[in-house]
Each structure stands twice: as structure tokens, then as C-alpha cells.
Amino acid sequence: MIYYNTLDDGTIWLLIVYTKAKFDNLPATLLNQLKEEIEHG
């Protein structure tokens, strides 16, 4: 799986690459950390 986000200015953030077998459900804490980095650099 590859998750990415494209910002309004065209910047593309590659968030995480993993095999589905390794992470069926990503922890909420990890998702929140990723969100904070994208929003606030």
C-alpha cells in the first residue's frame, strides 16, 4: 500500500509504504502524527 497527499501548491507527500499483511490497521497515533507533519511541516 502507498499513501500520499497532494497539497494545494502541488507538493506531494509520500506518507507510508507497507505490505498489507504487516499493518492491517494503522494506529490512530501514527495517522495523527502524519497529519500534523503535513499541516505544520
Instruction: DSSP for 1-41, please give it.
Output: -EEEEE-TTS-EEEEEE--TTT-SS--HHHHHHHHHHHHH-
CA distance 40 to 22: 28
* pLDDT 10s digits, 2-41: 778 888 898 888 877 677 666 667 788 988 887 888 788 6
pTM of the predicted protein model = 0.47
Owning domain of residue 31: 2-40
Q: What is the pLDDT of residue 22?
A: 65
Q: What is the pLDDT of residue 23?
A: 66
Count how many domains the chain has: 1
Q: What is the pLDDT of residue 5?
A: 82
Q: What is the pLDDT of residue 41?
A: 66
